[in-house]
Structure 1
């Protein structure tokens, strides 16, 4: 009798522990994704009666020059931002971990500070830095003899997309510094001591010992950053809204404007673009699994 009661209590506990989060996943994740697939088959502005158009939205999206232009900008961010964030974070984390600076704890807080700020604050801060009249960047260049003559970095098609990379990197480095520091502190000091006795310098220790031993953490970080560069658009929305002349538009922002823009609203077409983005994300994940396999290292 006592055994049956224990089993009953166990199943009650498991039910209470599993059903709420699983129900939340079904309601807020799986169901909206399935609904997006259905919307992608419609011509619908959210107000009038929806019209079923089948795969027409997908065919239109594949021939849409704005989709391909936005994806091209995503590729630029996908190549530059993860590489810069991971490289800078690794170097800073290595210095904090292996150099006995008395300011180390303060430096960790300083590096993480941008992650505490709202994305709106970060965007406005950097928009002011790039301002042509009062911007910090033009002022700094003028101090070294380069007069940009009120040049607005976000207002030129040739510089706007590159000007978005520094705030993105600045806002992302701090988090990964903390992640890499925690990973590096788990590496036995004896490995570094043996390398030092053999005459290995800091760069050798970083690339021959540290990075290989935390490669699984680096791999996950790169994956998160790639997904972020493909999905995130808030910074671009605030700083340029895809301008000038679409030179900074990305697929997430284009999809957002299709669904909630002022001029043209089509939830069906926006959902189709979103499905294409989903396929790209899955493909990126599979390619990472192929070319950057997760090799566990024991030490």
Structure 2
């Protein structure tokens, strides 16, 4: 509908107000139609399950029999549960090691590919990104073969270089199982962040590097004085995704070790899953309480990151 000319004295105030009300109504209807599917999906698949988990955490329930309301007993039990705190320690270990390694390796590879001018850069981008097209199950099974004691690739390489490792099972020993989960996470994540950092570096004007070269700045100076400050918002968002992801993920642990040996790789997400769906548990109430604990940890991690990693964009 064409907008009437309000400067025309022939248009009455009544007609003008009617047109404004009709236009406002059309905008409201359009906004409702546009946001309803997304908001409905959020309510149905995110908000409602979370609120239901809060209710379940106050129950003693195995998912089959009649639920029994126990109030905060599940939370009291959780605070006294040593396995929860052991799993939390493992989560914190992955929260520190995985993001740091992924970001450092991705920054180095991205910087080399973006600024060194190697031939076949497009090929390397595809090569590094390849693990990201694999499912978590495939990655975990691949690394399970690498760590195998008898036929594993890792032990084979160690024997070739003269280290008598024998038939050492990396995932079957409490001394090495926790750290052995880190490489699958890193290998499966680096490729994506290499692409992200390369694209971020490509937006930096070449004139800044040319001016720095004329001033005698080397590669390290350009990296720390130009590249990193200008892509710091991207690094911050990447660190946020990696930290939150390492806190809530448990797929690699479930497939590679199922929390073993002797709980040495158990994490909160896996412990909660086994409480709810394990062969000898089926305790949905207590599992929901552990899930609420994990939710609080995720929120706290986000707030701490906002405090110590503020969004300080650098303009050029």
TM-score interval, normalised by the smaller of the two chains: over 0.9
Gaps of 5+ in 1: none
Q: Does 189-198 or 49-58 show the bigger shift?
A: 189-198
Deviation at 1:61, TM superposition (A): 0.6
**More divergent stretch after superposition (56-65 vs 192-201):** 192-201
- Displacement of 1:4 in angstroms is 5.2
Answering whether residue 144 of structure 2 is matched by residue 120 of structure 1, we say: no
Given the alignment of the two structures, is residue 52 of structure 1 paired with residue 69 of structure 2, yes or no? yes
Specify the SS of the correspondent of 2:159.
helix
TM-score, structure 2 as length reference: 0.92
Q: Secondary structure at the residue paired with 2:108? A: helix
User: Which moved further from structure 2: 3-12 or 17-26?
Assistant: 3-12
Take 2:81 and 2:26, find their aligned partners in 1: how far apart are those partners? 57
Residue equivalent to 1:238 = 255
Partners of 1:199 and 1:139 lie apart in 2 by: 47
Q: Which runs of 5+ in 2 are unaligned?
A: 1-17
Residues 188-207 of structure 1: pairs in structure 2 closer than 5 A: 188-207=205-224
By how many angstroms is 1:202 displaced?
1.4
After TM superposition, list the pairs within 5 Å mapping 1:156-195 onto structure 2: 156-195=173-212
> How far off is 1:8 after superposition?
4.0
Post-superposition offset of 1:9: 3.5
1:9 counterpart residue number: 26
Q: Distance in 2 between matches of 1:283 and 1:156?
A: 32
Matched, 1:34 2:18: no
Normalised to the residue count of structure 1, the TM-score between the two structures is 0.97
RMSD across aligned positions (CA): 1.2
**The one of 150, 169, 179 aligned to 1:133:** 150
Match 1:251 to one of 261, 268, 282: 268
Distance 1:2 1:275 in 2: 51
Number of positions where the alignment pairs a residue of Structure 1 with one of Structure 2: 299
Distance 1:127 1:203 in 2: 38
Cα distance in structure 1, aligned partners of 2:82 and 2:137 = 29
Task: Give, in whole Å, the separation in 2 of the partners of 1:117 and 1:137.
Answer: 21
Q: Residue 286 of structure 1 aligns with which residue?
A: 303
Aligned to 2:94: 77
Report the equivalent of 2:229. 212
